[in-house]
Chain A
Amino acid sequence: MRKLTGRPGRRQGDETMQPPTRPAPWIARSVSTEFGRRHVKGVAITRLLVGIAAVTLGSIFCASGHWWGALLFVPAALNLWFAYLMPRWKRALDDLKSGPRVRELERSRALVVDDAAARLRRIEQDLHDGAQAQMVAVVMKLGLARDHLGSAVAESGRGDLERVLERALELVDAAHRGAMEAITELRDLAHGIHPPALAEGLGAALAALTARSDFPVELVLDLPERPSAAIEVIAYFCAAELLTNAAKHSGARHVTLETTHHPGLVTLRVSDDGTGGARIEAGRGLAGLADRVKTVDGRMRVASPAGGPTVVTIELPSHA
């Protein structure tokens, strides 16, 4: 992880020695910024008051026939000018100072986003190699046991033993069915964490997604090169959510999913000929998508007049 630097009054060398419990540097930064802002405000108000006082005094002296009173207008003008300019200078200076900091936050955020994507992929892989494989092995053994018990029941025909075997068969059969359901659930869970088809790229994953959908989706892909893994994951889940929305709410008969990747920009567009009227409302699916897209500085636009058609466009940077 990249370290956040820039705590005022601390040398670079000290940074790496700090225990992890120290307050995050941005807290110190925002406190000092807040202090600076108040300080500037105070000075500006003082200058303003001094300026006004000088103008008033100068005017009074001039009015009472003392011509030298006009000399007071010079410091008055200077003070008023300072009062006017100081907040502007301060802001310009802040912008100058925060530029590198914003860039650094962007970099560290990209690392966090990439790291999260990689971690989800690992979890999916662990599920695949671990729990899912174990369950398949269990199901095989139960299947085998069930078959053996079944033929034993058929052959035994001896009162007590047959009853015992039948009971055992029932139990094994129930366990087998339960294990099969568990496998399906595990598969859905793993798929929701990280779609395995993404290993072969966004195009392949979207093709698999549209193949699974219950209604026809026209797929248009133009992905000459792969965006970063985290962006692929976001694009995939956005597409999945938008297709679900189109199916659930719009009553569309025709849905098109278009995905292009041009230098620096991944564009995902889902259009349907449904009833329209989709809006980004707090707490609704589209708002959740918009939030997700924003985490990587992406943008989402919804054009959905009443009566349709609905076009949702999502733009993502190639790299988080």
Chain B
Amino acid sequence: MRIVIAEDSAVIRAGLAEILADRGHVVVAAVGNAEDLQSAVDEHHPDAAVVDVRMPPGYSDEGIRAAIAIRRDHPGTGVLVFSQYIETRHAANLLGAAAGSGAAGVGYLLKDRVGDVSEFVEALSRVAAGGTALDPEVVTQLLRASRRTDGLGALTAREHDVLALMAEGRSNGAIADTLVISERAVEKHVASIFSKFSLTPSDSDHRRVLAVLRYLGSGPADPLPGHPGSRSP
């Protein structure tokens, strides 16, 4: 993979470049702010970008906004956002924007996850290939938020588990391993989730992502709280 890194901390930037190079990937640019990230992506058209949420000048959500812009302007570039803290609304923003542009190709992970090199690189590959990679913690929080408004009436507990793992971006095989059930059973649950969300086979490729988004979209994360005068239910 050809990768662009955007991270304002020099040590983390160097560390990321090292682990990615170690796994045989090419880091075409490593930058320290959102503006340089945009120009690096414009110039190199990488397969994936690894983006820190907090970057200069405002140190708030520059990375999320840059990620959304990249997904809009460069459909071929997957964006993996990573952050010291998990903020549900950042994840919701990112997923919402991804849904608008055909969904997928985005990920949101806690920074610590880079400590597990193989898992991190695998998540990055998934995002580069147009899949999703959500931190388990993000998924927990998002699902908790949507359960509040829905009463979780529609899904069974098992389907809920399957959906949570789907939201993390896992394949059916990986879900089967995690839940210690057969892959056939996973497929059954997934099909049931799709039908409960009225996702027809014509949505083919992105049905998994759409299912997750549809489920999460009903939570209070949307409309996004925190804006002046907003009132969330």
Is A183 among interface residues, defined by CB-CB distance under 8 A?
yes
Is B226 among interface residues, defined by CB-CB distance under 8 A?
yes
Q: How far is the CA of A184 from the CA of B228 in the complex (A)?
A: 32
Q: Which of B12, B54, B61, B148 contacts A137 (CB 8 A)?
A: B12
* Selected interface stretch from A5-13, A81-89, A213-221: A213-221
Q: How far is the CA of A205 from the CA of B89 in the complex (A)?
A: 10
Is B18 among interface residues, defined by CB-CB distance under 8 A?
yes
Q: How far is the CA of A45 from the CA of B50 in the complex (A)?
A: 83
Closest residue of chain A to B14 (Cβ to Cβ) is A137
A140-B18, A187-B85, A211-B141 in contact; A200/B230 too (CB < 8 A)? no
> Which residues of chain A from 187 to 210 have any CB-CB distance to chain B below 8 Å in the complex?
187, 190-191, 196-197, 199-201, 203-208
Q: How far is the CA of A137 from the CA of B22 in the complex (A)?
A: 15
Q: Evaluate contact between A132 and B230: CB separation under 8 angstroms.
A: no
> Which residues of chain B from 133 to 151 have any CB-CB distance to chain A below 8 Å in the complex?
141, 144-145, 147-148
Is A155 among interface residues, defined by CB-CB distance under 8 A?
no
> Please, how many residues of chain A have a CB less than 8 angstroms from a CB on the other chain?
45
B83-123: CB near A (< 8 Å → 1, else 0) gives: 01101110000000000000000000001101111100000
CB distance from A250 to the nearest CB of B (A): 18
A142-B115, A203-B225 in contact; A136/B18 too (CB < 8 A)? no
Q: Evaluate contact between A136 and B15: CB separation under 8 angstroms.
A: yes
Q: How far is the CA of A77 from the CA of B84 in the complex (A)?
A: 80
Q: Evaluate contact between B87 and A197: CB separation under 8 angstroms.
A: yes
Q: Evaluate contact between A134 and B225: CB separation under 8 angstroms.
A: no
Is A290 among interface residues, defined by CB-CB distance under 8 A?
no
Q: How far is the CA of A212 from the CA of B54 in the complex (A)?
A: 20
Q: Evaluate contact between B112 and A136: CB separation under 8 angstroms.
A: yes
Q: Evaluate contact between A136 and B226: CB separation under 8 angstroms.
A: no
Q: Evaluate contact between B231 and A147: CB separation under 8 angstroms.
A: no
* Selected interface stretch from A100-108, A222-230, A298-306: A222-230
Q: Evaluate contact between A218 and B233: CB separation under 8 angstroms.
A: yes
Q: How large is the interface on B (under 10, 10 to 19, 20 to 34, 35 or more residues)?
A: 35 or more
Tell me which of A143, A183, A184, A220 has the highest count of chain B C-beta atoms within 10 A of its own C-beta.
A143
Q: Evaluate contact between A219 and B220: CB separation under 8 angstroms.
A: yes
A residues near B114, Cβ cutoff 8 Å: 136, 139-140, 143
> Which residues of chain A from 132 to 151 have any CB-CB distance to chain B below 8 Å in the complex?
132-134, 136-137, 139-144, 147
A residues near B111, Cβ cutoff 8 Å: 132, 136, 183
Is A180 among interface residues, defined by CB-CB distance under 8 A?
yes
Is B19 among interface residues, defined by CB-CB distance under 8 A?
yes
A residues near B22, Cβ cutoff 8 Å: 144
CB distance from A310 to the nearest CB of B (A): 20
Q: Evaluate contact between B229 and A140: CB separation under 8 angstroms.
A: no
5 A-B pairs (CB sep. < 8 Å): A140-B16, A187-B84, A200-B226, A211-B144, A221-B225
Task: Report the 8 A-B pairs with minimum CB-CB distance, sorted nearest first.
Answer: A204-B226, A139-B115, A207-B225, A133-B9, A140-B15, A137-B11, A203-B226, A211-B88
**A interface with B by C-beta (< 8 Å):** 125, 128-129, 132-134, 136-137, 139-144, 147, 176, 179-180, 183-184, 187, 190-191, 196-197, 199-201, 203-208, 211-212, 216, 218-225
Q: A140-B18, A140-B117 are in contact. List 6 more A-B contacts (CB 8 A).
A: A136-B12, A147-B117, A180-B115, A197-B87, A203-B230, A204-B89
